[in-house]
Structure 1
Amino acid sequence: MVAADLGISLPTVTQNLNYLRECGLIFNAGEFESTGGRKANMLSIVPEARLAVGMDVTQTHVSVVLTDLKLNILDSVKTHVLFRDADDYYEMLANHVRMILEKNEVDPEKFLGVGISLPAIVNERENTSSYSKVIDIPDDFYVQMQKKLPYPVRLFNDANAAGWTELQARGKLQPMVYLSLSNSVGGAVLMNRVYTGRNWRGGEFGHMTIVPNGKECYCGRRGCLNAYCSARVLSDYTDGDIRQFFYEMKATGNRGYRRAFEDYMQYLALAVNNLRMCFDCDVVLGGMVGACMEDYIEEFKKIVKKLTPFENSAEYVKICSFRTEPSAVGAALYFVDDFVRQM
């Protein structure tokens, strides 16, 4: 099967597989069910053969994860700290990387690099940010981090990183739109890879106009989806804790919370329906709110269903399956994906 898929001879495949096995990169994971002849060997990558670090930098906290080649989170640390364009802040970020590597005794020969996700429009080829209003990321952010870390460093948009993680977690490379509902609204268009657009602004769903001349958005415009569907619309009721909002709404039946959430779903349904009309694929609700929607997804689907003229259900609306630091993991995923492709 491998030889046919790659278009090379069976002896060459065998030689290459033996080499990968000798390098400790793959192992025999068992056998496939027989289809009438000899059972085929099942090969799998050795997860710990290489490791990478992902970091999610936000306005109020920093999350750092250590992942293996199968995106298992081996260790993580989250620090609540306000973003500052200052040398001691960048040193703190670098220290988090050093500490997680030292704690886990990571062999430098097996370490791939550090990916950093940011709430900004990021040119991934040049490792630069061209637009950042959520936090004031300086032009030399990449330079500052690369100076402090003796490893390859790459920058990524946080929603693109989270969407890429979600696509890999699902195990099916099918078209998908990922809608990130965190303290700012973003997203990713995934057509086997992340579609970033000509100007690296693909998936900036938070700035779609939902209500003409509506509420003011942090971008300075009015009526953006971000003004109606960021996590803060709900979490402001519970001192910024979105999980507490959902807990209290369910446990106490707070009518004020319930009305706020119903309004939230109405605006979110408009966005989801628009995305369905544009891309005709699954729409995955991610971010902080998406991770809390499990008890309400059927109710939400009924709202969405009323908006489309083409379908009698809204089964294309999904809840994110990867809910633990998806942006940080997605930032590390760049190095994992690059390594696997070069194997």
Structure 2
Amino acid sequence: MKEKGMTTITLKKINREKVYQYIYQQKETSKLQIVQDLQMGLSTVSQNLNELENDGLISRNGYFESTGGRKAQIIKIVEDFRISIGLGILKDMFHIVAVNLYGDAVATETIELPYENSDAYYTALAANVELFIQKNHYAPEKIEGISIATQGIISPDGTAVTYGDIMGNANMQLSDFSSRLPYPCHLEHDSKAAADLELWNHPQLDSALVFLLNPNLGGAIITGHEVHQGNHMRSGLIEHICIDPNGPKCYCGNHGCLETYCSANALKAASGMPVKEFFNLLHQTHALNLTQIWRDYLDHLAFAIRNLNLVIDSPVIISGYLAPYFQEADMQYLLSKINESSLFQMDESQLLVGNHGQYTPAIGAALYYIKEFLTPAVS
């Protein structure tokens, strides 16, 4: 049977997808609300709700407050119907997260495991991932996929790291993970993954510049509501912008890269202590030497933001490991330094701070499979 060139089966799939996506967007809704807003017949909506509930995709629990008649039942999606696992691989450790269908990190862990390009490393990592899944009681069929964020430039086809001087992971292959884990696997640059998370959290942004303040600095550009990759996957590598040719030597071999001033490692080196200890002492003692170190850091960050904002006229997002340490006074100081000698003034609404800290790349990576699951199979 055809209906205006569309099969009945296809139409049913479209209606089912519309109902599910509506419930997802609303977070909580009722049958009558779906009928009214989607302009579908009551029997069509009822049938789709029954199917979605039988398949485990939605739940009907509790009731809305009465508006004079019979109480309407609350309908929600089952947030953990599928789980995506995200990994954030660093030189000495990796972060692992489980993310639900709303992009919420429902489980996190940091595992000490120094990186090396060896069978032993990848086997140990895979074993830890499997243990994490077991400890959190996720059935294998719930796992939508495992997405890996790593430092280094990823090949355009997503199968390998093509540049990885920080970790020495230029030989890292997607198959190193997919051959050891019984789930779909995906590989991406940690900064791009971080930008994906910030875009998820700020869907109203069409464009933005992301500063990933991790042990090593990273960056990404959002434009046209997407993370910009560039012709060779090298867009947004702000860490290698030279701000002083006579400055400290960078791991890339050049001198005075922004990496040497604005990475968390640079702050650690300047203070001579771990980052967490530095901020504890800074906020407790307000020692002049610590305050000066922090202000020097913010001054260099402001210099970079001011100049890059002339190239990309957009909001700026402070993200990554250091982001949770930024207090309101720090943001005000940073904004004042950005505007101090700027031709065009930035207002505080254009300076945003991420809130996922060290887990940012792992969560952002995990969103890959969440978005894939939520993308309608029919249109």
Question: TM-score category by the smaller chain?
Answer: 0.7 to 0.9
Give the drift of 1:13.
8.3
Aligned pairs for 1:64-79 within 5 A: 64-79=96-111
Q: Quick one: which of 307, 324, 334 aligns to 2:368?
A: 334
Q: How does 1:53-132 map to 2 (within 5 A)?
A: 53-123=85-155, 125-132=157-164
C-alpha distance in 1 between matches for 2:269 and 2:247: 19
Alignment of 1:284-303 (within 5 A): 284-295=317-328, 296-303=330-337
CA distance 1:123–1:26, shift in 2 (3 Å): farther
Residue number in structure 1 paired with 2:266: 233
**Quick check: which has more Rg, 1 or 2?**
2
1:109 shift after superposition:
2.0
Matches within 5 A, 1:82-231: 82-123=114-155, 125-191=157-223, 192-231=225-264
Per the TM alignment, residue 45 of structure 1 is displaced from its structure 2 partner at its CA by 3.4
Change (3 A) 1:151 1:228: same
Report the alpha carbon displacement of residue 171 of structure 1 after superposing the two structures with TM.
4.4
Residue matched to 2:338: 304
* Greater mean alpha carbon deviation, residues 74-83 or residues 296-305: 74-83
Which residue does 2:292 correspond to in 1?
259
TM-score using structure 1 length:
0.87
SS at match of 1:161: helix
State the alpha-carbon separation in 2 of the partners of residues 311 and 19 from structure 1: 54
When residues 287 and 103 of structure 1 are mapped into structure 2, their CA distance, relative to the original with a 3 A threshold, is same
Within 1, Cα distance between the matches of 2:238 and 2:262?
Answer: 11
Q: Which residues of structure 1 form unaligned runs of 5+?
A: 35-39
Pairwise CA distance, 1:238: 5.9
Shift of 1:338: 0.6
* Consecutive unaligned residues in structure 2, runs of 5 or more: 1-17, 23-37
Q: 1:26-71 CA deviation, whole Å, 9 max, x = no partner?
A: 456988xx9xxxxx99965321110111111101211111121112
Spell out, residue by residue over 1:290-334, the C-alpha distance to the aligned partner (whole angstroms, 9 max, x if none).
221124111111111113212264541221133361111111110
Shift in Å, 1:135: 0.3
Q: How does 1:34-45 map to 2 (within 5 A)?
A: 44-45=76-77
Distance in 2 of aligned mates of 1:256 and 1:56: 33
**Structure 1 residues 13-22 or 251-260, which shifts more?**
13-22
Letter in 2 for 1:241: P
Q: Return the offset for 1:105.
A: 2.4
8 Å CA contact retained: 1:54, 1:116: yes
Say what the alpha-carbon RMSD is for the aligned residues: 2.9
Task: Work out whether 1:323 is the aligned partner of 2:357.
Answer: yes
Following the alignment from structure 1 to structure 2, what is the Cα–Cα distance between the partners of residues 328 and 205?
20
Write the distance in 2 (CA, Å) between the matches of 1:240 and 1:121.
30
User: What is the distance in 1 between the residues matched to 2:346 and 2:174?
Assistant: 48
Inter-CA distance 297–240: structure 2 relative to 1 (3 Å threshold):
same
Tell which deviates more after alignment, 8-17 or 48-57.
8-17
TM-score where L is the length of structure 2: 0.79
Q: Paired residue for 2:303, among 265, 270, 278? A: 270
- Paired residue total: 336
Deviation at 1:9, TM superposition (A): 8.1
1:47 aligned to 2:70? Answer: no
8 Å CA contact retained: 1:55, 1:117: yes
In 1: Cα distance, 2:273 partner to 2:189 partner: 23
Q: How many angstroms does 1:172 deviate by?
A: 2.9
Secondary structure of the residue aligned to 2:261 is: helix
Contact preservation (8 Å) 2:271, 2:290? no
Deviation of 1:214 after TM superposition, in Å, equals 2.6
Preserved contact between residue 242 and residue 288 of structure 1 (Cα < 8 Å): no
